[in-house]
Amino acid sequence: AEAAKSWLEGDTGADENYAEELHELFGAASARAVSRRRKLLSCYKSGSAPATRDLRSAWIAYPEYWKA
């Protein structure tokens, strides 16, 4: 809401600032999530189902997600 307010008030760089802020906050987590999902999807590409260890390393609720 702050970025939208700033933009409406004439701050033409508000959108870029907002994008930078999002990247700083969530960039590493998003990159990790994408990496884990790609690895999980590669199991299906080879024609097999993912093993339990693959699933656990792809889901945020499991410690294996954070170890890899």
Domain of residue 7, residue span: 2-67
Pick 1 or 5 by higher pLDDT. Answer: 5
Q: How many domains does the chain have?
A: 1
d(CA 63, CA 65): 5
Confirm if 34 and 28 have CB atoms less than 8 A apart: no
DSSP summary character for residue 62: S
Q: How confident is the model at residue 49 (pLDDT cuts 50, 70, 90)?
A: very high
Mean pLDDT over 40-62 rounds to: 92
Predicted confidence at residue 22, as pLDDT, reads 95
Judged against a pLDDT cut of 90, whether residue 61 lies above it is answered with yes
Q: Cβ distance 50 to 64 under 8 Å?
A: no
The reported pLDDT for the residue numbered 68 is 67
Q: What is the pLDDT of residue 46?
A: 86
Residue 54: φ, ψ to 5°:
-65, -45
Q: Is pTM beyond 0.85 here? A: no
